[in-house]
């Protein structure tokens, strides 16, 4: 059940106070200032802190949004077309909370703000997503804000890397498979091994797999995926974001 809050400013300030306490504990536990380098990978949704002495620290994250010092605007990542949907997972809770409480700043994708807006929105997201910490990084005229949801072991991080593939369009994304005929450029039909949703954190042990109408006809005539149906399909690899763009094109025509 979504709680109701009487006043946005009070709620925002309470979240900021909570974030200060949370960050204090986070810094004590992980001492991230002792790591000289940081990297984030939207493909796998993981943040990497690296120290010159060989230490590494990894976290799964949610990309909350960005503040433009040039335009003085806040942009929620779910409204940013350049941000992959899978690193925004969870923000639907923030938006729903805003809708329930009539908090416009949680439901508008882009709005004017000031130097404190980014941390305020990050603080709200941190509370609603039960984050373990928060961070921001500079990028030209932007500050990009993240909340960390959990720490990753080296093995877990390496496992994520193995499940993702480089992409010339989106840099990298979850390893996905489609037949040779399916594309974003034309309608070919879309059949998949299981129902997928970019906003649902499903079992990453299962690969996204999709094929066109013609491949489905061959599969049904053969009774299964076999040498004949697989030879017709000639499965190719795409990244997860390409996969969902293909799915949208073939299901909605957009």
Q: Please report whether residue 28 resides in a domain.
A: yes
Q: Are residues 174 and 150 in the same domain?
A: no
- Report yes or no: 149 and 211 within 8 Å, Cβ to Cβ: no
Q: Are residues 98 and 184 in the same domain?
A: no
- Report yes or no: 133 and 59 within 8 Å, Cβ to Cβ: yes
What are the tens digits of pLDDT across the range 98-108? 999 999 999 99
Of the residues 95, 122, 157, the one at which a domain ends = 157
Q: pLDDT digit of tens for each residue in the chain (254 aa)?
A: 566 667 999 999 999 999 999 999 999 999 999 999 999 988 889 999 999 999 999 999 999 999 999 999 999 999 998 888 889 989 999 999 999 999 999 999 999 999 899 999 999 999 999 999 999 999 999 999 999 999 999 999 998 888 878 888 877 778 899 999 998 888 899 999 998 887 666 556 678 999 999 999 999 999 999 999 999 999 999 988 889 889 988 887 65
Sign (positive/negative) of CA torsion 158, 162, 167, 170? Answer: negative
Q: Are residues 49 and 149 in the same domain?
A: yes
Structural domain including 76 reads: 8-157
Q: Are residues 115 and 182 in the same domain?
A: no
In total, how many domains does the chain have?
A: 2
Please tell me the distance from the alpha carbon of residue 30 to that of residue 150, in angstroms, as a whole number. 12
Q: Are residues 128 and 60 in the same domain?
A: yes
Q: Are residues 134 and 14 in the same domain?
A: yes
Q: Are residues 171 and 228 in the same domain?
A: yes
């Amino acid at each position: 059940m979504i709680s109701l809050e009487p006043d946005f400013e009070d709620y925002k300030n309470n979240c900021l106070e909570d974030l200060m306490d949370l960050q204090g504990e986070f810094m004590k536990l992980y001492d991230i200032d002792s790591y000289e380098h940081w990297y984030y990978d939207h493909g796998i949704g993981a943040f990497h802190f690296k120290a010159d002495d060989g230490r590494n620290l990894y976290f799964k994250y949610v990309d909350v949004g960005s503040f433009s010092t040039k335009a003085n605007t806040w942009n929620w990542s779910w409204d940013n077309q350049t941000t992959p949907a899978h690193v925004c997972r969870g923000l639907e809770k923030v938006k729903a909370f805003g809708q329930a409480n009539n908090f416009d700043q949680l439901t508008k994708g882009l709005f004017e703000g000031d130097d404190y807006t980014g941390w305020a929105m990050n603080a709200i997201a941190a509370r609603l997503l039960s984050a373990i910490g928060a961070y921001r990084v500079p990028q030209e005229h932007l500050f990009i804000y993240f909340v960390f949801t959990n720490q990753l072991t080296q093995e877990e991080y390496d496992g994520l890397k193995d499940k993702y593939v480089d992409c010339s369009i989106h840099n990298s994304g979850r390893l996905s498979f489609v037949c040779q005929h399916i594309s974003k450029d034309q309608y070919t039909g879309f059949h998949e091994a299981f129902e997928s949703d970019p906003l649902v954190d499903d079992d990453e042990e299962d690969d996204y797999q999709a094929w066109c109408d013609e491949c489905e006809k061959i599969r049904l005539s053969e009774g299964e995926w076999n040498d004949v149906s697989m030879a017709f399909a000639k499965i190719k690899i795409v990244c997860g974001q390409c996969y969902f763009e293909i799915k949208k094109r073939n299901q909605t025509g957009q």
